[in-house]
Amino acid sequence: MQKITRDQLVSKASELLSNGTVCCVLGWGMGEFDYDVTPTVFNTVEELNNGFVFNDFCGANFSKYLVSKAAKCDGKILVLLKPCDTYSFNQLLTEHRFDREKVYVVGIPCEGMADVSKVKAICGEGILAISSNGDNINVTTLYDENPIVINAADVLAERCVNCKSKKHVAYDELLGDEGEVIESNRFDEVARLEAMSADERFAFWQNELSRCIRCNACRDACPACTCEKCVFDNPNSGVENKSPANSFEEKLFHIIRAYHVAGRCTDCGECSRVCPQNIPLHLLNRKFIKDINEFYGDYQAGEEVGMRAPLVNYTTEDLEPGEVFDRGADNA
Amino acid sequence: MQVNEYKPLIVAFCCNWCSYAGADLAGNNRLAYPADVKIIRVPCSCRVNPMFILRAFQRGADGVIICGCHPGDCHYTSGNYYTRRRMAALFSMLDYLGIEKERTRVEWVSAAEGAKFAATMNDFAKTVASLGENKRLEDLRCKK
Amino acid sequence: MQRVGVFVCWCGSNIAGTVDVEAVSEALKSEPGVVFSTNYQYMCSQAGQDMIKDAVKEHNLTGIVVCSCSPRMHEATFRKTAAAAGLNPYMVEIANIREQCSWVHKDVLTGTEKAIILGKAAVAKVNLNTPLIPGESPVTKRALVIGGGIAGIQTALDIADAGFEVDIVEKKPTIGGKMAQLDKTFPTLDCAACILTPKMVDVAQNEKIRIFSYSEVTEVQGFVGNFDVTIKKNARYVKEEICTGCGACVEKCPMKKIPNEFNLGMDNRSAIYIPFAQAVPKVATIDPNACNMLKNGKCGVCSKVCAAGAIDYTQKDEYINEKYGAIVVATGFNPISMDKFDEFAYNQSKDVITSLEFERLTNAAGPSAGKLVRPSDGKHPHTIVFVQCVGSRCESCAEKGKEYCSKICCMYTAKHAMLTRDKYPDTEVYVFYIDVRTPGKNFDEFYRRAVEEYGVKYVKGMVGKVTPEGDKLKVQASDLIANKQLHIDADLVVLAAAIEPDKSARPLATMLTASMDTNDFFTEAHPKLRPVESPTAGVFLSGACQGPKDIPETVSQAGAAASKVIGLLAKDKLTGNPCVANSNELMCNGCSSCANVCPYGAISYEDKEFRMPDRTTKVRRVAVVNPAVCQGCGACTVACPSGAMDLKGFANSQIMAEVDAICK
Amino acid sequence: MHNNKYLRDEIIRISGADVSKCMRCGKCSATCPAYDEMEYHPHQFVNMVECGDIEPLLNSESLYKCLSCFACIDRCPRGVQPAKVVEAVRLTAIRKQGANHITADDIPAVVDADTPQQLLVSAFRKYTK
């Protein structure tokens, strides 16, 4: 269902490698399963031809990898960015996390990526192979000789269902159109939670967060979490703990993590994508984004390089913390 | 037999220049407020890290209040403006997680407002006491 | 592990009345790190302090907790005590068990319980205290004064008088500012030039003072005691050191039709000019927009007539770098533009003028040689209408006026009215006012004299409309007391235009990281207690750049700013507050969040090389806090996502320890 | 002082003007082209409304002398909007009479082709609401 094909990407990457524009390529490589695509650095055309993968499971946001990879190359590194990835790219540039000169960005169109957990919900476990077939996805499992055909639209990842922008906000070269910011309903779920009573909200989050196993995948995948040393790994921060010591730790972890990325989170959805427990972590980040939009005016992190994040800014007329709750009776 | 009255534990972060001085003034004027309120001195309300607040809740505080200079009067010119944004965002998030919003508060208390300090603390302590013990922040993970 | 001593004060019965001090000192004995705990009647007394000093020696204490009154009261005292005992003064923590415990709780049980908890929190914190040593930075013993009006002149003279070098940067070709344009000064009516020009000469002759005229500040780096300033000396096409100011060039210059800004365009000057006779430095300046030689290479007359050979058509702008210990802003004010006040017909009639133009008209060195005449026809005006509050206190018209009171207009209008009636008793003088505001020594008496002795007609009400008709100005106004609409045929209308900060102030404030209000007046560090200091350390405020001011007030503020500067320059080294932010470069991401929130511009970034675990090196951008500039608010510590930024004296771990101790 | 608080508040509400901002500078009256025709002048309207002294205004012909030229609104340094206050008093008077001075149907008969549009608009503003 992706408009762009693997061959187009490989040929573009090979061209840039061969003509010396870049010295390596940050792309998707084959993992253990078809749906298990791994970010990989390709150094030669041959490696590209052998190992490069592009399918409906190439959701990984490469921006974050540039923090460590860009400085390691002698020349430029080629990175393939989907529209939503470019926002993270800009946000990282705003925070001086890598050198723009070391990166060559090829913007690629994205029709939305599939969520393997949704596939598994339909087909069950034991997936042997997955392949795209027009608007459908063919899934072969251990338990069935014939591939199961499912509609790609039915297994679209949540973040793609609620895609906020098809616009590339940063690129050196585009394969396809620049695209446009689109209307989305991404705050609907947050609003639904807000409309609940406090007890209901508590029950909702208790149910969700109780599944957290503190694997730190959300943090490790988040392009806003690029700290040299995370406060949760730092014995002097006072909140250090790599695994939960008591029942409160997960919530503290998720609140602090969401707070630390508030105003910097571009809503790329990596946290929820990588969560092995399927906790809707993006709903925490979106709450901050929605609040910030409502309190201080619309703000999209990463829209441009050099923007001042809302929580490191102020006006003398900002609303008072107490007024936050006076904005509507349904919020009680 | 005397019924053991529930006493909440309240942590108050006060900025050194206005609110801590306001608390001192409340003392000078012998304006009583519950001993449940324990004050931690910080140079400016903007020194209060959300981690401190969550840590207090984690360790059993029932309410946390942050006091700073009135907006525009910050000793450091802009610190309390940042506090205002940070706490608005954080408190809204805690509310979103279902934690009673009455457990958190930001109040601007000047060095001259001893009476306001005492009144604020009385009111806050009463509100928190009426909510009872803080359980939600502690047991969010463990389903009963 | 620290060796902590706990000292519980009774404060007579102030604490001991509601808190069982014995129980407190006993309970704190078992806290981690505590090796000694005692109580005493008055800890702050000499005996109490000696007790602390003895205990430090006897028990080898490394940290002290005093449970007493507010730290705002005696923290400094006990720090000195610790220092006297050989401890670092920042190894002291105070538990406030008086103002925040014994005085607000009635019951001994609760009071004692709370005092113990507060004591525990202080012990927990002191366990994590580290000795802090205030940073020191040297002081460059030279001051920069930006602006050469009366404010800048007075500040410079006072600083030089104390023996320090001062540079004045003035963007006009001469110092003197607005005061040089004035005729007489209220309330004593002595002539402005007579009192100002000697001061200008003093400046020129003072060997401690350098004047950079026709110059501006283009870059400011550094911090208090160590500013690094770039001054741009605009090319004046005349060698300043050679020019004798004889004026031969001015006389012979063929381009004579250039509006003279010193006289507010009411007469003309030549392309090469000296603003006025007493200019300092008295040096000619060529106006590059008017000079034929500079524009198209045709003329060169001034060069031919200059006996000294001072003319240099090839002169270029020059950039000078200088170090300063302190900077005084004295950028002054300007009257606002009258263009948008159509109702007063300022742009339609030459005979509607501003008060500053009126000053030039009555000044003996002005365009009419001091004779009060109408600018349109040179005739003597018989009816003059003064309008006050033009653009001042103007809340609804932010695009044309100012919401504040300009403060000086009431007095100078009274002066103008009085002087007019004094010199020309045949003129009829009206002053239209909303309020007459004349607080100040001999000010109200002055205004009353204008009314009572000189017969100036003060009318409560505003002028609504001025219409030029023939050679008259039809003035339509309110007399609110008589409840009449007045119609006056005036010969001259004088508008008391609101004043605003000079336009150069805003970019300068940005360079200095000094804060400003919405009206572009510089903000003072404290409106009452530190009125001549900017919140940015080392930057001081003099004159109208801080708010509307008359001359006496400006001069006193100039002196005050000078004394603050002298106090700073007199020090060889600046000792900072040691409770400043510091960044752990190993954890710093270089994301700039901290610099965004720093109100003092204390954080900068540098690229640093790090050795990685795999033996490679990596260059990373990391934050560096300048301890001389940091004031220790801690805004950056919360903005920092990685926790690399911490605050000495109020570290994350220390506050967390207090939280833990309280919430146990 | 406020001897007719209800009317006062009503007029202030209708006008949308903040009479307390008035500094008594009289620029509105100084500007007013209809000054000579008026018994009570714009600044007095503002002041009397603020004081709740409404009755004399309601009974004065001054109400209908205001040309709605809005010069006073334009020139007022405090944004008080005296013309709006006059208009509000006028409206109150009209409401008290229970009828407008002129109905929309009657207008074509009294208007000729040369009538400037501004007059019509002002008249509508003045006589309806």
d(CA C128, CA C65): 12
How wide is the angle at C-alpha C447 spanned by C-alphas C442 and C262, nearest 5°? 95
Last residue of a domain, one of C468, C500, C532: C500
Asked if residue C282 has pLDDT above 70, the reply is yes
Name residues whose C-beta falls within 8 Å of residue C588's C-beta, 6 or more positions apart in sequence: A228, C620, C622, C623, C640, C642, C644, C645
Please report the pLDDT score of residue C230 as a whole number. Answer: 97
Average pLDDT (A17-44) is 91
**C405 in contact with D, Cβ within 8 Å:** no
C60 — pLDDT class (breaks 50, 70, 90)? very high
Is the same domain home to C400 and C489? yes
Residue type for A307, please? M
Task: Pick from C594, C597, C642 the residue to mutate for testing the A interface (most A CBs within 10 Å).
Answer: C642
Segment 471-500 of chain C within 8 Å of chain D by CB? 476-480, 483, 485-486
Nearest residue in chain A measured CA to CA from C636: A312
Say whether residue B47 is in contact with chain A using an 8 A CB cutoff: no
Asked if the Cβ–Cβ distance from B140 to A322 is below 8 Å, we say no
Mean pLDDT value of segment C173-194: 95
Closest CA to C537 of C601, C593, C580, C597: C601
At B144, the pLDDT band (50, 70, 90 cuts) reads very low
Domain boundaries, chain D: 5-98, 102-129
Would the CB atoms of D29 and C397 count as touching at under 8 Å?
no
For C311-340, what is the mean pLDDT? 96
Nearest CA in chain B to A213: B141
Among candidate residues D29, D86, D78, the one with its CA nearest the CA of residue C487: D29
Supply the pLDDT for residue B1: 42
Q: Between the CA atoms of D111, D112, D116 and D118, what dihedral angle is there, to the nearest 10 degrees?
A: 10
DSSP assignment, residue C495?
Answer: E
For residue A183, the distance in angstroms to the closest alpha carbon of chain B comes to 24
Mark whether D and A touch (3+ CB pairs within 8 Å): no
Specify the higher pLDDT residue, B28 or D5.
Answer: B28
Least confident of C542-546, D100-104, D119-123: D100-104
Inter-residue contact C372 to C420 (CB < 8 Å): yes
Helices (H), C207-366: 248-252, 292-296, 301-305, 355-362
Cα nearest neighbour of C650 on chain B: B42
Least Cα distance to C4 among C96, C157, C172, C121 occurs for: C121
For residue D65, the one-letter residue type is K
Q: C with D: how many residue pairs have Cβ under 8 Å apart?
A: 75
**Dihedral (CA of C331, C334, C339, C341) sign:** positive
Least CA distance to C340: which residue of chain D?
Answer: D75
Residue C345 sits at the chain D interface (C-beta within 8 Å): no
ipTM > 0.85, yes or no: no
Which of the listed ranges C490-499, D22-31, D98-107 does the model predict with the highest average pLDDT? C490-499
Residue A34 has pLDDT above 90, yes or no: no
Check whether residue C148 and residue C268 sit in a common domain: yes
Sheet holding C484-490, edge to edge: C463-469, C472-479, C484-490
Beta strands, E only, C272-355: 272-273, 285-286, 318-324, 326-329, 333-335, 352-354
Q: What is the CATH T-level fold of the domain D5-98, as seen in this structure?
A: Fumarate Reductase Iron-sulfur Protein; Chain B, domain 2 (1.10.1060)
Scanning every residue of chain B, which has its alpha carbon at the shortest distance from the alpha carbon of C600? B76
Q: With contacts defined as CB-CB under 8 Å, which chain C residues touch B38?
A: 114, 117-118, 121, 662
- Are residues A248 and B105, on separate chains, in Cβ contact within 8 Å? no
Q: Is C159 helix (H, G, I), strand (E, B) or coil?
A: helix
What is d(CA C99, CA C74) in angstroms, rounded to the nearest whole number?
12
- Identify which has the larger pLDDT, C331 or D128: C331
Q: Do chains B and D touch (3 or more CB pairs under 8 A)?
A: no
Q: How confident is the model at residue D99 (pLDDT cuts 50, 70, 90)?
A: low
User: Looking at the predicted structure, is the pLDDT value of residue A332 above 60?
Assistant: no
> Please, are residues A53 and A59 in contact by the beta-carbon 8 Å criterion?
no
Stretch C169-177: mean pLDDT: 96
> Is residue C657 in some structural domain?
no
Span B53-77, pLDDT tens digits = 988 988 889 999 999 999 988 888 8
Least confidently predicted of B52-56, C336-340, D113-117: D113-117
Q: A309–C593: do the CB atoms touch at under 8 Å?
A: yes
Residue of B nearest to C110 (CA): B35
- Same domain, yes or no, for C493 and C547? no
Give the residue from chain A lying closest to B90, CA to CA: A259
Q: Which sign, positive or negative, has the C-alpha torsion C574, C579, C581, C585?
A: positive
Q: Is residue C199 part of a domain?
A: yes
Q: How many domains does chain C have?
A: 4
pLDDT tens digits for range C570-617: 999 988 889 999 999 999 999 999 999 998 888 999 999 988 888 888
Query: How far is A258 from D21, CA to CA, in rounded Å?
Result: 47
Q: Which residues of B touch A293 (CB under 8 A)?
A: none
Question: CA of C601 to nearest chain A CA: how many angstroms apart?
Answer: 14
Average pLDDT over residues A9-25: 93
Shared domain for C338 and C267, answered yes or no, is: no
Per the CB < 8 A criterion, the answer to whether A273 and A59 are in contact is yes
**Chain centre distance of CA C606:** 30
Question: Which pLDDT band holds residue D52 (cuts at 50, 70, 90)?
Answer: confident
C180 confidence band (pLDDT: 50, 70, 90): very high
- Top-ranked range on mean pLDDT: pick from A322-326, B103-107, C134-138, D10-14: B103-107
Residue range C403-428, pLDDT digits in tens = 999 999 999 999 999 999 999 999 99
Q: What is the residue range of C635's domain?
A: 581-648
Q: Verify whether the Cβ–Cβ distance C587 to A71 is below 8 Å.
A: no
Smallest CA–CA separation between D28 and chain C, in Å?
7
Q: Is residue B12 classed as helix, strand or coil in its secondary structure?
A: strand
Chain A residues with beta carbon closer than 8 angstroms to that of B72? 316
Give the pLDDT of residue C221. 86
Helix (H, G, I), strand (E, B) or coil at C39: strand
Residue in the block written with tokens 């206050």: D85
Contact C599 B77 (CB under 8 A): yes
CA atoms in the 13 A half-sphere facing the CB of A330: 6
Q: Does position A234 have pLDDT exceeding 90, yes or no?
A: no
Q: What is the model's pLDDT at position A247? A: 54
Query: Omega into C641 within 30° of 0, i.e. cis?
Result: no
Q: What is the pLDDT of residue D3?
A: 56
Work out whether strand C645-647 and strand C352-354 pair parallel, antiparallel, or are unpaired: unpaired
Do C493 and C552 fall within a single domain? no
Q: Render pLDDT for C80-136 as a digit per residue (tens, 0 to 9).
A: 999 999 999 999 999 999 999 999 999 999 999 999 999 999 999 999 999 999 888
Residue C222: predicted pLDDT: 84
- Among chain B residues, the shortest Cα distance to C116 is held by B38
Q: What are the tens digits of pLDDT across the range C501-513?
A: 999 999 999 888 7
Is 50 exceeded by the pLDDT of residue C306? yes
| Between C290 and A210, residue with greater pLDDT | C290
Chains B and C, touching by 3 or more CB pairs within 8 angstroms? yes
Secondary structure element (H or E) that encloses residue A6, with its range: helix A6-18
3-state DSSP of A261-309:
HCCCCCCCCHHHHHCCCCCCCHHHHHHHHHHHHHHHCCCCCCCCCCCCC
Whether the predicted pLDDT of B141 surpasses 50: no
User: Is residue A248's pLDDT more than 70?
Assistant: no
Yes or no, beta carbons of A247 and B85 under 8 Å apart: no
At residue C131, the pLDDT reads 95
Q: Show the domains of chain B with their CATH numbers.
A: 10-136 (3.40.50)
Q: How far is A161 from chain B (nearest CA, A)?
A: 23
> Where does the pLDDT of residue A144 fall: very low under 50, low under 70, confident under 90, or very high at 90 and above?
confident
pLDDT digits (tens, 9 = 90+) for A276-290: 999 999 999 999 999
Sorting pLDDT into bands at 50, 70 and 90, what band is C525? confident
Check residue D87 and give its pLDDT.
Answer: 92
Mean pLDDT for all residues in chain C: 94
Confidence at A136, pLDDT banded by 50, 70, 90 = confident
Q: What is the dihedral of CA C642, C643, C644, C649, to 10 degrees?
A: 170
B59 contact A CB<8A: no
Residue C98 CB coordination number (10 Å): 26
Alpha carbon of C555: minimum distance to chain B alpha carbons (Å): 27
Average pLDDT over residues C428-449: 95
How buried is C534 (Cβ within 10 angstroms: 0-12 exposed, 13-18 middle, 19+ buried)?
A: buried
Question: Quick one: pLDDT at residue D125?
Answer: 67
Which of C149-153, C211-215, C630-634 has the weakest average pLDDT? C630-634
β-pairing, C4-9 with B104-108?
unpaired
Within an 8 Å CB–CB cutoff, is residue B44 touching chain A? no
Q: Which two tokens stand for residue C87?
A: 């401890």
d(CA A223, CA A218): 10
Residue C646, token pair as written in the block: 């911490």
Residue B138's pLDDT band, with cuts at 50, 70 and 90, is low
